[in-house]
Amino acid sequence: DAGVIQSPRHEVTEMGQEVTLRCKPISGHNSLFWYRQTMMRGLELLIYFNNNVPIDDSGMPEDRFSAKMPNASFSTLKIQPSEPRDSAVYFCASSPADGYNSPLHFGNGTRLTVT
Amino acid sequence: GESVGLHLPTLSVQEGDNSIINCAYSNSASDYFIWYKQESGKGPQFIIDIRSNMDKRQGQRVTVLLNKTVKHLSLQIAATQPGDSAVYFCAEKGRGSWGKLQFGAGTQVVVTP
């Protein structure tokens, strides 16, 4: 099992540029989560999907952030335009279909730096 | 100027000793709890979970205790090893909030030889 795969591992971009983060969940997991981690606020849930449908996007900070899940094996988180305060580590996690009381399995994250 | 970040509580433990990491959770309606370990440069890694109808659960070298009366969760690590050095997070899930975890601030565990 390859686990949750995120790309890129590191992204450095200039303010105003579009950033796209990618995630491949664990095969067979029907729920996918995007989290952001900063020193100031710790781990924050941005959005989560179940069966490719967004269930709760109340954690998405602004309209500059958008997420898609076109199929069961791929999701993207896009920031357009990016700002320095978006600098953080972004994690994707997945959970099995009966994920009501199942742990989330995290990828190793994308460290985003916006200058 | 510099940003001020969270100062994680730190637990220093001598190799071979037992560690106890504590967590106060916020929602009395939470029904599922998880402990995660996060090493530098990696994502949170699942350690052990417990449902609210239990008060103790044991894994390999780890035990989680749940006290719902005072909303307290603890993780005990037996015979702490250098590889246990990491940040440990507790997470809770509110009843009915399908899959949505709320994470604590974390505790830095440093294992000294």
> B81 to chain A, minimum CA–CA distance in Å?
23
* Position B83 pLDDT exceeds 80: yes
- Regarding predicted confidence, which is higher, A97 or B75? B75
Residue from B46, B49, B87, B92 to probe the interface with A (highest A Cβ count within 10 Å): B46
Which of B36, B99, B105 has its CB closest to that of A31? B99
Q: pLDDT class for A1, splitting at 50, 70, 90? A: low
Whether A48 has its CB under 8 Å from any CB of chain B: the answer is yes
- Average pLDDT of A45-73? 94
DSSP chain B: -PPP-----EEEEETTS-EEEEEE-S-TTEEEEEEEEE-TTS--EEEEEEETT-SEEE-SSEEEEEETTTTEEEEEESS--GGG-EEEEEEEEETT-TT-EEE---EEEEEE-
What is the structure's pLDDT at B26? 84
**Strands annotated E in A26-104:** 29-38, 42-50, 53-56, 65-71, 74-79, 88-96
Q: Do B93 and A99 touch (CB under 8 A)?
A: no
> What average pLDDT score do residues B63-82 get?
96
- pLDDT band for B1, please (50, 70, 90 cuts): very low
- pLDDT higher than threshold 60 for residue B4: no
Report the largest interatomic distance among the alpha carbons of chain B, rounded to a whole angstrom.
Answer: 48
A-B Cβ pairs (cutoff 8 Å, strict) = 61
Please tell me if residue B93 touches chain A, with a CB cutoff of 8 Å.
yes
Q: What is the pLDDT of residue B97?
A: 64
Does residue A15 register a pLDDT over 50?
yes
- Summarised one tens digit per residue, pLDDT across range B11-58 is 999 999 999 999 999 888 898 999 999 999 999 999 999 999 999 999
Calculate mean pLDDT across residues A85-100: 86
pLDDT of residue A102: 82
Report residue B6's pLDDT band, with 50, 70 and 90 as the boundaries: low
Which helix (H) or strand (E) covers residue A113, if one does? strand A110-114
Q: What is the pLDDT of residue A100?
A: 64
pLDDT at A3: 95
Q: Is B99's CB within 8 Å of A91's CB?
A: no
B30-38/B45-51 β-pairing: antiparallel
> pLDDT value at position A97?
61
Rounded CA separation B34/A105 (Å) = 11
> Above 70 in pLDDT, residue B94?
yes
Mutate to test the interface with A, among B93, B102, B107 (most CBs of A within 10 A): B93
Does the distance separating the beta carbons of A101 and B43 come in below 8 Å? no
The answer, yes or no, to whether residue B3 has pLDDT greater than 50, is: no
Q: What is the pLDDT of residue B52?
A: 92
Q: Tell me the mean pLDDT in the region A13-33.
A: 96
